[in-house]
Structure 1
């Protein structure tokens, strides 16, 4: 694949060639309906091309060896930046970097905005949510809470992320509890606890489904 296309991306630049079955498993965290198509993986509106060896210059020499998985649209433009999120989420889980429009980013950089979210079929009442948060709870605004160094924002979930399809038969509109804080392990534990209590599911900032706290931490952690 031409270097220019890889640099345009979105591309997951990985330090090692991912196993084909592992790549499919990871894509299915973002879209449970993803399937193999030859050597590629096809998810909703996108195609994840089979990894190709690329020049380390693709990521400015940040990796000694680069295997590149480019994500391209299948038909209309992907909704809600799904193609970019997919490339970044794959790079995060496989210890790599993301390339989009010539810009190289490290998805594991903790200074980047965003965090996990709990997707719910029903918006919880403020009192119910406050009882589930740990420590002293302060309600900053109608839908913003802080407790134990964690900020919780209750917002309508934008769009319908494929990872949350199982909730859609039970909800006309999904709600997201967006969690923000410096301690990623703490955010992960709280997200899973809230999900269990409120019959939701946890996704990371790229809308990949999360079932274990360690899935929200970089592979090297």
Structure 2
């Protein structure tokens, strides 16, 4: 099979060809309504193209073998950078790299980011008090031990949390930051359970277990 030169559009560059069913399962973490369209996957105003074997130079030689999964916008995105987030989230879960506008990044190496708890309305400080301690100088900042949290309006409408939209008064995110992904995930899930919210990762993929935030081990 001829290898393709693929340089345009956000792309997940993977070390092995992903199983089609597994690829669809992962895309549905970002958009539960995603469905197959031939060999491609169609999500909300984006198309995830079927994996193709590509040249190693796509990743600057970082990967010896490359299977490229390109993501292309096909309409107004439900949130800014949704196409890029899809590519990066896929790369994270499938032990690959992300390529966007010629820049190669490793999503597993990103720091200063973490999960978010998405809520249909902004919670009152007393609702957060059992799990988070409010900052004395900033009414929107909180802590839980060495974990930092900030309350912000959620921009756009991530498809992963579409089940909250019928009840949304002011879609709000509790953004969590810290050095231990599993610990962040555990707190996020506890907050979601307490406040009737949903947990997503930095790319707005649904998170159902704390381990989902831990970078997978590469061979």
Alignment length (residue pairs): 216
How far did residue 76 of structure 1 move?
4.1
Any idea what SS the aligned residue of 1:69 has?
strand
How far did residue 71 of structure 1 move?
0.4
Sort the Cα spacing of 1:23 and 1:161 in 2 relative to 1 into closer, same or farther, 3 A. Answer: same
Corresponding residue for residue 153 of structure 2: 156
How far did residue 184 of structure 1 move?
1.2
How far did residue 213 of structure 1 move?
0.7
How far did residue 199 of structure 1 move?
0.6
Q: What's the CA shift string for 1:145-198, capped at 9, x where partnerless?
A: 122111110111111110010001111321100001111111011001101111
For structure 1, the residue ranges without an aligned partner over 5 or more in a row are none
Corresponding residue for residue 57 of structure 1: 57
Corresponding residue for residue 170 of structure 1: 167
Corresponding residue for residue 16 of structure 2: 16
Distance 2:145 2:34 in 1: 38
User: Which aligned pairs between 1:24-35 and structure 2 lie closer than 5 A?
Assistant: 24-35=24-35
Any idea what SS the aligned residue of 2:130 has?
helix
User: Which aligned pairs between 1:8-157 and structure 2 lie closer than 5 A?
Assistant: 8-76=8-76, 79-111=79-111, 113-133=112-132, 138-157=135-154
Any idea what SS the aligned residue of 2:57 has?
helix
**Structure 1 residue corresponding to 2:180, chosen from 172, 183, 186:** 183
How far did residue 122 of structure 1 move?
2.1
Sort the Cα spacing of 1:143 and 1:78 in 2 relative to 1 into closer, same or farther, 3 A. Answer: closer
CA RMSD for the aligned pairs? Answer: 1.6
Question: Do 2:78 and 2:157's aligned partners in 1 also have CA atoms closer than 8 Å?
Answer: no
For structure 2, the residue ranges without an aligned partner over 5 or more in a row are none
How far did residue 100 of structure 1 move?
0.4
Sort the Cα spacing of 1:186 and 1:140 in 2 relative to 1 into closer, same or farther, 3 A. Answer: farther
**Structure 2 residue corresponding to 1:197, chosen from 194, 198, 202:** 194
Distance 2:86 2:188 in 1: 21
**Structure 1 residue corresponding to 2:205, chosen from 194, 205, 208:** 208
Question: Do 1:140 and 1:146's aligned partners in 2 also have CA atoms closer than 8 Å?
Answer: no
Distance 1:51 1:114 in 2: 28
